[in-house]
Structure 1
Amino acid sequence: MEMEASMAGRLQIDSGVAGGLASVPEAARVLEHRGFDGCWAGETNHDPFLALTLAAEHTSRIELGTNIAVAFARNPMSVANLAWDLQAFSQGRFNLGLGTQVKPHIEKRFGMPWSEPTERLREFVEAVRAIWTSWHEGTRLRFEGRFYTHKIMTPMFTPDPSPHPMPRIFLAAVGERMTEMCGEVGDGLLTHPFTTRRFLEEVTTPTLQRGIGASGRDRSEFQLTSPVFVVTGETEEDLAEAAATTRRRIAFYGSTPAYRKVLEVHGWDDLQGRLHELSLRGDWTAMGELITDDILSTFAVVAPVDRVAAGLTERCVGVVDRVIPALPENLSGEARVRIVDDLRAAAIREPA
């Protein structure tokens, strides 16, 4: 069964908010003013929940979400509390995006246990929903799993009732087992930027459909969200700089064994090993030089500002529901507004 994107009339256009907390209010206001549909905060060198609290305070329409919060660095109860409060504070605009991170970071950076990531994340989601159901319906909390147990919930620790629905849960996935599980228990999938339309069509979407089918739901109840590298600029120099930066990013991700299958789909099997060897030597410049124009244009939309929307539309419409264009940092506000406006107009004209 062919899987089509669930968008109702148009592709939703999202962006990220990054940096220190002092910059978040203005950044979120700007995204909302420019017409973006969603604002995502990631967990790298800052906490995403704190950033989105500020974003919620200074916006009124735009959706807010974590992309991603590291699930295994926390526990289901603490995440359930954070998400419940943000859903209430944002008046129903919050999406909880969770990911596993990788074993070395979980064990050596966060000091937390790692095992069976797919099944552990599945149970994490089930536990969070069980906690929310207890709060929402006033029922007794009795969750007992292999990894998590939650059986105590007294009135003192129960949040105030909320008029809003439970937050949607988006899960990050690359491998097929995690992707299928995401279709079974998630409300949306957050893809990695190191992906292509062909990989989405041939690998991700059929796998996701198996999971959605197993859950007894329809594709229209699910959202696939994808970041996309964009190489553009308002001058030839800006475009060349954006291309060089993106080549290095593609090379960095391509050196990771977990992403080898994306390269294999395109017949670039040997590239991952060569990139990995160079990464061990710290030769980042040489890594970027291995990313040819063909590879660059496969992983990124490469176009002048007035053609970016057409490129994003060609890459996304009919496959994903939400796109996060990774625009160059030095792109002007006017150029960003034009791309968003053009993309919205182009996506609306395309059949859903």
Structure 2
Amino acid sequence: MSETTRFHIEIGTRNASPDGAEKAARFAAESGFGGLQLTETQHDPFIGCALAAREAARAGRPIRVSTAIAVAFARNPMTVAMAANDVQLAAEGRFALGLGSQVQAHIEKRFSMPWSAPAPRMREFVGAVRAIWRTWETGERLNFRGEHYTHALMSPVFDPGPNPHGYPPIWLAGVGAAMTRLVGEVADGFVAHAFTTREYLMEVSVPALAKGRERSELAAPVELIALPFVIAGRDAAARAAQEAAVRQQIAFYGSTPAYRGVMELHGWTETADRMHDASRRGEWREMAALVDDDMLDAFAVAGTPAEVRDRLADRFAGLASTVCINAPETADPADVAALAG
């Protein structure tokens, strides 16, 4: 991992709609953030990233845009390679392709796509995307054949040719050790889930990334992209509504078996069980009461904008290369803008 003591500050938005992405890009550019990250929930983040890149450029301050994340297994490597190539063109080289696996129920039931062990499938997915880009770059014959994906046809009419800005870095999201090792092996960056603590990063994620890099052909250090919950307000009243929303989000993730390892590391296994049981009963609001102050402090950074900046530095300097502000919608835009420094 990089030994840098500084990090790049970006901002994320859950509203990746065309209008939302453009507004977020203007806000990021005018506030001085270094980038904008769009996640895939209700809208396609590739379209949002392309529009955001153009809007930031029109605002006079181009920024990096990234999908953090787009759901890989809802697509195939060819569609992702093409979309990422186009966004890289729109962003004039300031794009990062962030991918994640999602969970089995969503892949099979929401997207009607096949599911298998996610780490081996993701390894093949990334290899296929890079093989497609290499064909466009060099003109060599496309001949990627794997267990899950086969790409062996690229006629000239479908070949966009080399990207003048090069191809974007590939970031992968992960929580568990197996997927995180894979990130170290095949990716340029690691998108740490918001439901991650510094202790979990240091004790689980960073060692797993290092093990993966030992087996990798990539020489550059893995970028670590942190997405901490942030509660920033000039006074306690301004922070109160944000705190309630963050406790609710932490409880939601804490109830999810896929993230149980984080809870176990901190000795919160019993709380995780109670959260999971509450979720099965549909007691979503009641779950937030299970998030005590120690748990809130582990996952979130809170205070005035100046205090939040200092606490982010204490938590992530020397660990993360990029910190993406993950603030509730109830936060005052002026307070969020102040986090850019």
Same fold (TM over 0.5): yes
Report the TM-score when normalising by structure 2. 0.95
Q: Are residue 14 (structure 1) and residue 15 (structure 2) matched? A: no
Q: Are residue 176 (structure 1) and residue 172 (structure 2) matched? A: no
Amino acid aligned to 2:84: A
Q: Are residue 136 (structure 1) and residue 137 (structure 2) matched? A: yes
Secondary structure of the 1:68 match is strand
Secondary structure of the 1:95 match is strand
Report if aligned partners of 1:17, 1:28 keep a CA contact under 8 Å in 2: no
| Matched residue, 2:250 | 250
Report if aligned partners of 1:197, 1:315 keep a CA contact under 8 Å in 2: yes
Report if aligned partners of 2:81, 2:132 keep a CA contact under 8 Å in 1: yes
Q: Are residue 24 (structure 1) and residue 25 (structure 2) matched? A: no
| Matched residue, 2:152 | 151
Secondary structure of the 2:214 match is helix
| Matched residue, 2:272 | 272
| Matched residue, 1:43 | 40
Q: Which runs of 5+ in 1 are unaligned?
A: 342-352
Report if aligned partners of 1:15, 1:36 keep a CA contact under 8 Å in 2: yes
| Matched residue, 1:119 | 120
Partners in 2 of 1:104 and 1:165 — Cα distance? 35
| Matched residue, 2:298 | 298
Superposition deviation, residue 298 in structure 1? 1.1
Q: How many percent identity over aligned positions? A: 45
Superposition deviation, residue 6 in structure 1? 4.8
Superposition deviation, residue 159 in structure 1? 0.4
| Matched residue, 1:263 | 263
Superposition deviation, residue 234 in structure 1? 2.7
Partners in 1 of 2:243 and 2:236 — Cα distance? 11
Report if aligned partners of 2:279, 2:287 keep a CA contact under 8 Å in 1: yes
Question: Which of structure 1's runs of 4+ aligned residues deviate more than 6 A?
Answer: none
1:60-85 Cα distance to aligned partner (Å, 9 max, x none): 32111111111111111111111111
Root-mean-square deviation over aligned CA pairs? 1.5
Report if aligned partners of 2:232, 2:335 keep a CA contact under 8 Å in 1: no
Amino acid aligned to 1:305: P
Of residues 13-22 and 186-195 in structure 1, the stretch that sits farther from structure 2 once superposed is 13-22
| Matched residue, 1:350 | none
1:15-37 Cα distance to aligned partner (Å, 9 max, x none): 12342312322320220121211
Superposition deviation, residue 255 in structure 1? 0.4
Secondary structure of the 2:280 match is helix
Amino acid aligned to 2:33: F
Q: Which runs of 5+ in 2 are unaligned?
A: none
Relative to structure 1, the CA distance from residue 254 to residue 167 in structure 2 (aligned partners, 3 Å threshold; closer, same or farther) is same
Secondary structure of the 2:298 match is helix
| Matched residue, 2:285 | 285
Secondary structure of the 2:56 match is coil
Amino acid aligned to 1:202: E
| Matched residue, 1:163 | 164
Report if aligned partners of 1:6, 1:321 keep a CA contact under 8 Å in 2: no
Relative to structure 1, the CA distance from residue 212 to residue 269 in structure 2 (aligned partners, 3 Å threshold; closer, same or farther) is same
| Matched residue, 2:312 | 312
1:300-330 Cα distance to aligned partner (Å, 9 max, x none): 1122233111111111111111111212323
Partners in 2 of 1:336 and 1:302 — Cα distance? 12
| Matched residue, 1:226 | 226
Secondary structure of the 2:339 match is helix
Relative to structure 1, the CA distance from residue 138 to residue 191 in structure 2 (aligned partners, 3 Å threshold; closer, same or farther) is same
Amino acid aligned to 1:17: T
Secondary structure of the 2:340 match is helix
